[in-house]
Structure 1
Amino acid sequence: MASALLAACGGTPDGVIDSCKSGLELPPGVSTDILFVIDNSGSMASKQARVMAELESFVSALVEGPVANDFQVGVVTTGVTMHAALCDPEQAPYLYRYEKESGRLQPAKDERGAAIEGPRVLAWNDPDFVENFRGLIAQGTKGSGQEMGLEAMRLALSEPLVSATGPGGNAGILRPGSRLLVVIVSDEDDCSDPTGKALVLRPPCPPDLVCSSDAQCEEGAYCLADGDHRICMPNACDTAEGRARLEPVERYVDFLRGLDDGTGKGRKRETFLAVIGSVALEAPHDPERCMAGSPDEPEGVAVRYREAVRLMGESGYVDSICNESYGTALRQIAGMVSAPHVLELPQAPLDGRLLQVDVRRTSGETQRCRVGDGFSYEPATATSRARVTLEGACRLQHGDQIELRLICAG
């Protein structure tokens, strides 16, 4: 990343650019906090393995970015509660609470699923980072059948967990001023219900409906393998009525985008959301139960996750869990945070509208950006520097160089 040149035009107060020859350097690095939310239900063994197989690609993309990236990672599961019923109509539904999960940072697990002693937040410069990262991803397949990825995210990043120290606490996962990347990996849709009892999950009960495709099943039911045949498996989370009972997706996106940056300056944290979920292989923005009928098929459709990504705009990404390899997806996700998009200016221009940003691409093309057309500008305050947030076509890509200038008369 090239140095940035800013210029101004004449006598100005302290802290404001006062010479057309004033030069400034871009920040030498960024810090990024990464939270993986891993589905640990019964169908996830092969999907967790695909993430683990491509972690070196993910880490390399972060390390090889245009600026130094001080990143760290932690992992939680999608388990919070599960409200389920048996086939006996006289038995009341039961509520199972996953107290040791529920947004709590998880330890690494061995092949038997036993916890391995070690840090629950991994720093990028740990000499065994990739190996330990794989251990954190391997959360097993004995978790909740009601996957609450968005609720687990909220719990992990909220009080009391986010400040709690010791086992069961998440202190240290959010650092002051760091960006936040949340990565959710699940083969079912989000079924977040903070109340725990908004809907009831019911098993397939006699007479089972034998099927050969989803089209033969009722809304919210999928034609899944059950021994040597396939039956319609109901999922209350995937019906229109069920989704209406869940916590609105908008509230989770508002929560994520509203996180304070922890510096005490009253500014919001820069946040990103990525999902590897049950969406179409060729058109990941279309919810679809990809690979239906295969041995590795997902068991739901990512309607709510896709909506969350859509609401995040340029800070959201979705790809299909049915890909044979997650290498491309993980590199794309790393690319979201490999370059800085929010730039603090040690000196502020008199008027942000005079600021011009030129982004030089590796192709040789120059993208010229101004306030409202490529970036937004926040003036300096008594406690914080002015800053530019690059947007749209002006967002940085790997290998880009950037110049910041003031348009000076004469």
Structure 2
Amino acid sequence: MMVAGGVSTLNTRDKLDLQHLRLATSSLAGLLLLANGCTRTATCLDDDCADDGGTDTGGDDTDDTDDTDDTGGELPLPVSRDVDILFVIDNSGSMGEEQATFAANVASFIDVLEAEEIQANYRIGVTTTDSGNLWCPTSTPEAGNLVMSSCKNRLNDFVFNNGEIDVRDLACNDICTLTEAELEILPTTTDFDAVAKPRPWLERIQGVKNIPESTDTAAAFACFGPQGINGCGFESQLESMYLALIRSQSTDEESYGFMRPTAILAVVFVTDEADCSYNKSYSEIFEQNGNKVFWSDPADSSPTSAVCWNAGVECIGDPSNYDSCSSANKDLDGNVGVSDAEAVLHPMSRYIELLDELEQEKQQYDHENEIIVGVIGGVGADGQALYADVSGTDPEFQHSFGIGPGCQAPNPLDPDSPSEAVPPVRLLELTEEFTPGNLFSICAQDYSPALQAIADSIQYQLSPACYTQCAKDTDPDTAVLDPECEVLEDPPGNDNTVVMQECLRDQNGYAIDPQSNDYAMPSDEVNVCYALLVDPDGLTTDLNDDMSDRCVDLHYNLEFKVARRPGFPADSGTSVSASCSLADFPELSCPGIGG
């Protein structure tokens, strides 16, 4: 924070409301390749079956001449657990307490991703809000570069204004308890580069981490997350995000490969300031001898963060409590509603269009894959933004930031000066475009609820692989469903689909591999297998065939799980599909299916 002197078809405004509805569709988040053979013809499952379209395909065994096809067409299964998460952390001078709170609470985020029912294959990258400004000659702008190193190796970054503020202990030493050896980033490969080398992100894929096995990932993230407080006070949250995502697609960048094409993408901002992502062509809005139309006082010797608010936001209503504030394109003379090219701050279209394009690319593989945006910023505890001028009650804050605080909280570093945050109008609009309501207060004393809620919005897309038709019970005399299914794996660029084998069973049910803690492979030659989850009520002694609550709540009678041998992950773009014999009377076998 700078002080004085220093579109897809389902557009995103309705996304959260539609989450549960979409769970009833046949394609959810993951490596589902809907292009290259979206829905194939029904697959034969028994000896009487033929695929010439004119004979029985597994229906009533008593009538081989019946043309009724009771075998379901191949349905894509949401078996991918891949998610890439970019954190954009404000590293300006006022963020010491907030970074400490963030680091202390990151376990609530990691716990959701690593929960047994989720087991996300995640990558976490971190960048800062510093993309440079002429008034920040001593900062080292990351400009979207990913930072993945222990805060203990960057302790000087936690000192601000020549030692006036020192949060080395508060935001790093008191929280980060791991040694440099415990935080070593180990070599790994990506989908884009077969060369194993250390990558600037934290990952856990199929249980394999890129840090030492004995190191807890949440404890590691508590060391990697804090970014210091010596960054530029003209924060460029949106531009830093933009540059980070662009860099990750460039072959000459260290972060190349961070963003997997079929993985869910989540972007999380942690900041107490308004966005100041300005067009470098119009840097004169900050210059001492430039255009000062956005300065709080043209007589000042230097600009304040009010320039960022005044240059990019327009409010309507009573200034003591505005009806609303929204982003606005303004030119060098302060004219509102100008073209994107004339806007002194980069227009919101720049960032919305980038995420839209990425979302559409991902939806070529899985049409339900949606970008997730979350903000921990200057909003109230209810997630609502407050907009009010405070020139009469707090002229110093108004002068510094152009608007009153969006939230306030006690400051343990200075009891006489509360922590305050500026309402994040432009970040709010980006969030509402992609993940409405995913806004949380940075003034809170505990970020666990916020981080867990953001992680929950991710796990909604990492949904279980419910079979979305009513599978036929081939042996009604047993306590649970006995389905007849075929599961196929279709690697990218390969015309030959592979018939997947069922995972190993023993006398007690599905066997579990003690090394991977996952379903055991049926043989040493097999690297991937599937399990049939058919028990919605715990009727069998085998806990490994129990269905998830989500599939049960939607009245499906079958769920799949796909297990892979450690070290043999699926290639990006691999699809998995299943076809099963269907119940003769689904309205009786699966009442209320999908709802």
Q: TM-score range by the shorter chain?
A: 0.5 to 0.7
Q: Specify the code of the residue in structure 1 equivalent to 2:261.
A: P
**Residue 359 of structure 1 aligns with which residue?**
none
**Residue 45 of structure 1 aligns with which residue?**
96
Q: Is 1:312–2:416 an aligned residue pair?
A: no
Q: Aligned partners of 1:340 and 1:170: how far apart in 2?
A: 25
- SS across alignment from 1:256: helix
Q: Specify the code of the residue in structure 2 equivalent to 1:304.
A: R
**Residue 41 of structure 2 aligns with which residue?**
15
Q: Is 1:247–2:346 an aligned residue pair?
A: yes
Q: Aligned partners of 1:238 and 1:149: how far apart in 2?
A: 13
After TM superposition, the structure 1 = structure 2 runs for residues 144-159 of structure 1, keeping only pairs within 5 Å, are 144-158=232-246
Q: Specify the code of the residue in structure 1 equivalent to 2:129.
A: T
**Residue 128 of structure 2 aligns with which residue?**
77
Q: CA deviation at 1:272?
A: 0.5
Q: CA deviation at 1:317?
A: 1.0
Structure 1 stretch displaced more, 29-38 or 328-337: 29-38
Q: CA deviation at 1:132?
A: 2.3
Q: Specify the code of the residue in structure 2 equivalent to 1:139.
A: Q
- SS across alignment from 1:258: helix
After TM superposition, the structure 1 = structure 2 runs for residues 112-191 of structure 1, keeping only pairs within 5 Å, are 113=154, 118=185, 119-124=199-204, 125-126=208-209, 127=213, 128=215, 129-158=217-246, 160-164=247-251, 169-191=254-276
Aligned length: 321
Distance 1:196 1:121, change over 3 A: farther
Q: CA deviation at 1:262?
A: 6.5
Identify the match of residue 309 of structure 2 among 231, 238, 248: 238
**Residue 321 of structure 1 aligns with which residue?**
442
Q: Specify the code of the residue in structure 2 equivalent to 1:103.
A: G
Q: CA deviation at 1:50?
A: 0.8
After TM superposition, the structure 1 = structure 2 runs for residues 162-311 of structure 1, keeping only pairs within 5 Å, are 162-164=249-251, 169-195=254-280, 197-198=282-283, 200-201=285-286, 235-239=306-310, 244=330, 245-259=344-358, 265=364, 270-286=370-386, 288-291=405-408, 295-311=417-433
Question: Residue by residue, what CA displacement relative to the aligned partner does 1:37-91 show, whole Å, maximum 9, x if unpaired?
Answer: 001011111111111111111111122274431111010111112143xxxxxxx
Scaled by the length of structure 1, the TM-score of the pair is 0.65
Question: Residue by residue, what CA displacement relative to the aligned partner does 1:222-262 show, whole Å, maximum 9, x if unpaired?
Answer: 9xxxxxxxxx9652111156763311223312211211676
Structure 1 stretch displaced more, 131-140 or 149-158: 131-140
Q: CA deviation at 1:188?
A: 0.1
CA contact (8 A) 1:40 1:77 kept: yes
**Residue 363 of structure 1 aligns with which residue?**
none
Q: Aligned partners of 2:305 and 2:75: how far apart in 1?
A: 60
Distance 1:100 1:45, change over 3 A: same
- SS across alignment from 1:101: coil
Distance 1:311 1:176, change over 3 A: closer
Q: Specify the code of the residue in structure 2 equivalent to 1:255.
A: L
**Residue 101 of structure 1 aligns with which residue?**
142
- SS across alignment from 2:154: coil
What are structure 2's unaligned runs of at least 5 residues? 1-22, 27-38, 44-56, 58-68, 158-179, 186-198, 289-293, 298-302, 314-327, 331-343, 388-404, 412-416, 471-492, 496-547, 558-581, 588-595
Q: Specify the code of the residue in structure 2 equivalent to 1:237.
A: C
Q: Aligned partners of 1:404 and 1:257: how far apart in 2?
A: 32
Distance 1:82 1:161, change over 3 A: same
Question: Residue by residue, what CA displacement relative to the aligned partner does 1:131-182 show, whole Å, maximum 9, x if unpaired?
Answer: 3212221110111111111111111111x543335xx521121113100010
Q: Specify the code of the residue in structure 1 equivalent to 2:425.
A: V
Q: Specify the code of the residue in structure 1 equivalent to 2:87.
A: F
CA contact (8 A) 1:66 1:400 kept: no
Identical-pair percentage: 26
Q: Aligned partners of 1:282 and 1:263: how far apart in 2?
A: 32
Question: Residue by residue, what CA displacement relative to the aligned partner does 1:71-127 show, whole Å, maximum 9, x if unpaired?
Answer: 11010111112143xxxxxxxxxx759665000111324346259763421112433
Higher share in strand = 1
Distance 1:52 1:252, change over 3 A: same
CA contact (8 A) 1:279 1:289 kept: yes
Question: Residue by residue, what CA displacement relative to the aligned partner does 1:323-375 show, whole Å, maximum 9, x if unpaired?
Answer: 0110000000000011327899999xxxxxxx89xxxxxxxxxxxxxxxxxxx
- SS across alignment from 1:319: strand
**Residue 209 of structure 1 aligns with which residue?**
none
Identify the match of residue 55 of structure 1 among 99, 102, 106: 106
Structure 1 stretch displaced more, 399-408 or 63-72: 399-408
Q: Aligned partners of 1:283 and 1:346: how far apart in 2?
A: 36
Q: Specify the code of the residue in structure 2 equivalent to 1:322.
A: C
Distance 1:137 1:32, change over 3 A: same
Distance 1:157 1:250, change over 3 A: same
Distance 1:35 1:14, change over 3 A: closer
Identify the match of residue 338 of structure 1 among 450, 459, 476: 459
Q: CA deviation at 1:282?
A: 3.3
- SS across alignment from 1:151: helix
CA contact (8 A) 1:78 1:149 kept: yes
Q: Specify the code of the residue in structure 1 equivalent to 2:432.
A: R
Q: Aligned partners of 1:258 and 1:111: how far apart in 2?
A: 38
Distance 1:123 1:234, change over 3 A: closer
Q: Aligned partners of 2:107 and 2:443: how far apart in 1?
A: 20
Q: Whose Rg is larger?
A: 2
